[in-house]
Structure 1
C-alpha cells in the first residue's frame, strides 16, 4: 500500500510541467475525504467539489492519471466531458440556397470581389453591435428630420434586411447572400419606431446613397413603399438609373393588384414574395410591374440584439420549428403533452397531467382566437401552450395585447399531428429573447434580389446596371404562367444561372433597357 502511495506521489511531483486535463474522480463509498485530503496536500485542488456525490472535478497530467488509477479510495476516474448550450449553430436560411447564392452553386470565395460594390439600405437603421453583421465596411447617414442615428434600429426592420444581405460566415447566427465581410454597406435611416417617412425623405436618402458610392457600383435596397406615386420621386429614380444605379424595391403586402411605389417605377426592380415551396405569398402584391420573385415567408435573419422572441420546442430530442406568439411571456416549461382539441373551454386535463403539476397543451387552430386558446390552457392548469396550424405552413400568431402567464408558440400542422401521436410523453417548451427572428413580407424578398444583383455584378464588373438587370430576368426560374406574369414576374431570381449567362458576354440574354412598367429581363426561360 505504501509503495503505491510513494509511486503516485513521486509521479505527481515530477509531472508539474506536463499539460493538464479536467477529470471527474468518483470515490469509493466513505473514501471521499481521504481522497481529497491527499490531493490537497500535494497541491491538486479540486476545480469543483461535489461532496454530495462523493466526487470531484480536478485537473491532472497524464502521469497523475496513470498513478491515480491504482488509488484504493478511487472508484473510477473519467474525463469531465463538455456540455454545450442546445442552441442552433450557424445556418443558411432556406432563401440562400433557393436563390443559388451559396458555395454549393458558386464555389468558395464566391463574393470575394464584392468590395467593389456598395449596397445601400434605405430603411430603419442598423444594429452596429450585432455579432453577425459587418462593422468595418459599413457607413451610415442619420436622418436629420427626426428618425435618429443610423446605427440605432428602433423598428428592427433594417437590421433584418441587412442580415439577409450580408450576415457573416462566422459560425454563429445565419448566413447572408454576401457573407464574406467584403461588400460595402451604406445605411441611410429614414424610419424611426413609427415606421413611416415622406417621399421627399426617400429622395434625399437616394442622394445620400449616391454620395456614399465613392466610385463603386451601387445597388439600392428599398424594402418599403406606398400606394401613391410621385412625379418628383419617379424622376429622381429615373435619373439615378440612367447614371448606373441599380434600384430594387418591395412590391407590397396588400395581396392585391394595386401598384406600390417606388417599386412600380420603370427604373426600379419590383420584387414579389414566395415561400419555401416556391408558392406565391398570399400577401404579395401582383401586377404588371412585378419583375422578380424571392423568398419572403418565414425568413430568418438578424434583429437588434435582444429584441427577438425565440420559440424552442423539443420532444424526444427532436427540435420543432416553433414561432412564439407575439406577446408571449418569457418562460421555460417541461411537461407531458396533453391533447386539448381546439381549447374552446378550459383544458382541465392539462392541469391533471404530471401528478397535478400541469402539462403542455397541444391545441388545434380554429374557432376562437389564439389568446383565448392560451387563456383556456392556463385556466385548466396547463404550463405552456402549443398551437398547431390547420393549413400548411408556419403559424406566426399574436395574442393581440392579451396578457397571459404561460409561454405559447405556433407550429406547423404536420408537426402538430406528429406530436398528437406522442401525447403523454414529455416535451420542453421555451420562449426566450434572442438576436434573430423570422419575418414575412416583400420587404424580406427584396434583399434577396438586391444581394444577388450585387453578388453577380461583383463577378462581372464590366457590365452595366441595365445588363445586370436584364440577366437577372432572363435567368430567373420561371414560375406560375409561362413567361412573365403579374405574380412572379420573370420568376425566382437565380444567382448561378445569371452568373453563367453573363460569363459569356454582358449582353447575353439582353431583352430590353428597362422599358415601361419595369420590364428589364428576357423571357425567364429557366423553366423547371
Structure 2
C-alpha cells in the first residue's frame, strides 16, 4: 500500500499535505493567549507522518500515532482532517477500587493489609484475616452479595432450622461487610477482607430472637471450630444459660465480641456484660462516645459506630421498608454499637492471622495495651481501654504477645494526711514503674491536672503549692502517675490550710440539673428515663466527696419516689427514675449527711428543680 506523506510544522501550525493537485491544508496561528491541550492522535495507516518541531510526549510506532501538546485551534483542525483516524484530549483513568469506610480507616485496618494510610487494596503477603473463621450471630447474611460471596464460608439458620441462613432483615449483612467485605475493586472493603465469614442466623426478619437460639448459635460456633464470635445483639438483663454458653466458648478458645447496647446509659447489655465477652461501645468520627452507646463497668474497648457504610442485601428486606428506616439495597449507612462490634471482631481476626496461637485472654491483653486511650487516662467506664488500633495490635501480636507490665505506683510523701499547711508548701511525690514512668501529675480538690514530670530532684517529683490562693479549711491533694503502657495509679490525702482565715466545715447544694432520655422500642417511645444530678460544695465552695444526698421526686401522677446516694470526687451524684410517664417531675433535696460537716440549707443555690416532659 502506498503511504501518503503529511508534514507537520508546529512552529507555524500549518499542516501541509504533499499530494498531487493539493498544495496545502488549513493552518492555525499561535498567539500569546492560545490555549494548549494534551492530545492523543491516531493517524490513518496510509498516512506517513513527518513530525517537525512538535512537543511530542509519546510516539506509538506500531499504531501510527502520537501523544502531543498542541494548541487548541490546531486540535480543532485535526478533528476534521482525513489523515486522522481518531483524536482525543488526554485524561486520567483510575483503578477500580473499594470504598474505604471512615470507621475501617479509623481503626487503622488498611495500614495492616494495605501497608499505607488510606489504602483500599490488600497487598499480597500482608496480614488480612486469612484463615480466621468469624461466626456472625445475627439475622443471617446475603451470601450472594458481590462483596461477600467469596468470603462467605457457610452457616446455619436456627430460626428456620435449615442450612440456608439468608438474611431477611439486613442487619447481619451489614455487620458481615464491616468484618470482611472483599477486596474486589467494587463496593466497600472490610476490616479483615480475607477472613472467612459464617452466617449463624439466630434473629428473625424483625431482628428478634430467643435465648435458646442464641445459645444454639454459640454451640454451633464451638462445634464448627470458629475462632471469633461476633454478636451485635443483646438484652437488658442477664441469663445464666447464655452466660454459661459464652463461658464455654471462651474456654474452648473462641474470642467472643459483643455490642454494649444502644440505650445511651450507664449499664452494659448482655451478653456483652459477661466477663468472658469483649464489650464494645461506639464512637463517632470526633472520637466522642456516640450518644446512643451504653457505657459502664464492663466496657472494654470502643470502635466507630456512627454513619458506617457497609453491605446490605441485594434484594428487599425489612430494613428497606420506610417504617424501619428505609435503608438502601446493596450498600447503606447504619449507626449503632452493632456496627462497632464487628469492627472489633475484624481487628481480632487480624490479630489471630498474625499469631494463630494466641488465646482469648492474650487477644484481650493485646487490645487493652494497644488501644488508643480516650477520656480519662487509663481504663474508664466510658471508653474502656480506648479505641482499637489494628496496626498496633497486629504489631504486638507479631512480636509474640504482650510483655508483662505492672501498674505504676505513686505516693504523696509530704505533706502527710491530716497535716495543717500554710504559705507555700512543697509537695513531694514518689512514683515508680517496672517499665518506666511517663507522666506524674497533681491537682488540688479535683481541679485541673498539673504535669510535674519535669520537676524531679533525683528522688521525688515536687510541686510548690501556694496555699494562700486557697480558702482556709480542708483541701484534697491528688497525685497520678502514668506508665509507658498508659496504666495509671493515684494517691490522695486531705490537709488543712490555715493562713489565719476562718475554717468552715459546712456544706450545701450547689446545683440541681434534670434531664431525660426517651426509652424506645423500635421506633415507638414507651417511656422516659429521668435524671437528676446533684452537686454539693463545702463552705469554701469546693466540691465535696462522700456526701450522702437524700432526694425526693414528685411524679406526674402526684406520687413520690425517694432515694439516697453518695457524691463522687467531683461532688456530684446522679439519680435516675427509669421508664416514667410524660408530665412534670420535681426533684427536692431533703437532706445532706457527711461526718464532720453540717448541712446549711440556707446556703443552697437551689433545693428543688422541676422538669416537664
- TM-score band by shorter chain is 0.5 to 0.7
Q: Does 1:129 align with 2:144?
A: yes
- 1:301 equivalent among 290, 300, 310: 310
After the TM superposition, which residues 399-438 of structure 1 pair with which residues of structure 2 at under 5 Å, given as runs? 434-438=329-333
Report the 3-state secondary structure (helix = DSSP H, G, I; strand = E; otherwise coil) of the residue aligned with 2:45: helix
- 2:135 equivalent among 112, 120, 123: 120
Deviation at 1:139?
1.4
Aligned to 1:90: 98
Q: Could you give the per-residue CA deviations for residues 328-375 of structure 1, whole angstroms, max 9, x where no partner exists? A: xxxxxxxxxxxxxxxxxxxxxxxxxxxxxxxxxxxxxxxxxxxxxxxx
Given that 2:280 and 2:303 are in contact with CA atoms closer than 8 Å, whether structure 1 keeps it comes out as yes
Q: Could you give the per-residue CA deviations for residues 457-501 of structure 1, whole angstroms, max 9, x where no partner exists? A: 211123211101111011110101111111111100111222233
Structure 1 residues 114, 433: closer, same or farther in 2, change over 3 A?
Answer: closer
- 1:188 equivalent among 200, 205, 221: 200
Q: Does 1:158 align with 2:140?
A: no
After the TM superposition, which residues 160-179 of structure 1 pair with which residues of structure 2 at under 5 Å, given as runs? 160-179=174-193
Q: Distance in 2 between matches of 1:71 and 1:489?
A: 66
Deviation at 1:79?
4.0
- 1:222 equivalent among 223, 227, 231: 231
Which structure: larger Rg? 2
After the TM superposition, which residues 449-488 of structure 1 pair with which residues of structure 2 at under 5 Å, given as runs? 449-488=344-383
Deviation at 1:169?
1.3
Q: Does 1:99 align with 2:81?
A: no
Give the TM-score normalised by the residue count of structure 1: 0.57
Pick the structure with more helix per residue.
1
Unaligned runs of 5+ in 1: 1-5, 12-59, 310-324, 328-397, 402-431, 513-521
Given that 2:140 and 2:172 are in contact with CA atoms closer than 8 Å, whether structure 1 keeps it comes out as yes
Aligned to 2:45: 63
Worse-superposed segment, 123-132 or 65-74? 65-74
Q: Distance in 1 between matches of 2:127 and 2:43?
A: 45
Deviation at 1:72?
9.2
Aligned to 2:339: 444
Structure 1 residues 95, 526: closer, same or farther in 2, change over 3 A?
Answer: farther
Give the TM-score normalised by the residue count of structure 2: 0.50
Q: Distance in 2 between matches of 1:254 and 1:454?
A: 28
Q: Does 1:240 align with 2:249?
A: yes
Q: Does 1:257 align with 2:266?
A: yes
Deviation at 1:305?
1.3
Q: Distance in 2 between matches of 1:72 and 1:495?
A: 57
Structure 1 residues 435, 464: closer, same or farther in 2, change over 3 A?
Answer: same
Q: Could you give the per-residue CA deviations for residues 357-411 of structure 1, whole angstroms, max 9, x where no partner exists? A: xxxxxxxxxxxxxxxxxxxxxxxxxxxxxxxxxxxxxxxxx8989xxxxxxxxxx
Q: Distance in 2 between matches of 1:502 and 1:185?
A: 22
Q: Does 1:289 align with 2:298?
A: yes
Given that 1:122 and 1:188 are in contact with CA atoms closer than 8 Å, whether structure 2 keeps it comes out as yes
Higher-RCO chain (CA-CA 8 Å, sequence separation at least 6): 1
Unaligned runs of 5+ in 2: 6-41, 50-63, 65-76, 116-122, 408-481, 488-613
Report the 3-state secondary structure (helix = DSSP H, G, I; strand = E; otherwise coil) of the residue aligned with 1:207: helix
Q: Distance in 2 between matches of 1:523 and 1:238?
A: 32
Alignment RMSD: 4.0
Count of aligned pairs = 344
Report the 3-state secondary structure (helix = DSSP H, G, I; strand = E; otherwise coil) of the residue aligned with 2:130: helix
Report the 3-state secondary structure (helix = DSSP H, G, I; strand = E; otherwise coil) of the residue aligned with 1:270: strand
Q: Distance in 1 between matches of 2:186 and 2:157?
A: 29
Deviation at 1:70?
10
Structure 1 residues 137, 127: closer, same or farther in 2, change over 3 A?
Answer: closer
After the TM superposition, which residues 381-400 of structure 1 pair with which residues of structure 2 at under 5 Å, given as runs? none
Deviation at 1:97?
2.1
Deviation at 1:258?
2.7
Structure 1 residues 399, 161: closer, same or farther in 2, change over 3 A?
Answer: closer
Q: Does 1:209 align with 2:232?
A: no
Deviation at 1:503?
3.7
Report the 3-state secondary structure (helix = DSSP H, G, I; strand = E; otherwise coil) of the residue aligned with 2:104: helix
Worse-superposed segment, 68-77 or 478-487? 68-77
Q: Distance in 2 between matches of 1:78 and 1:452?
A: 51
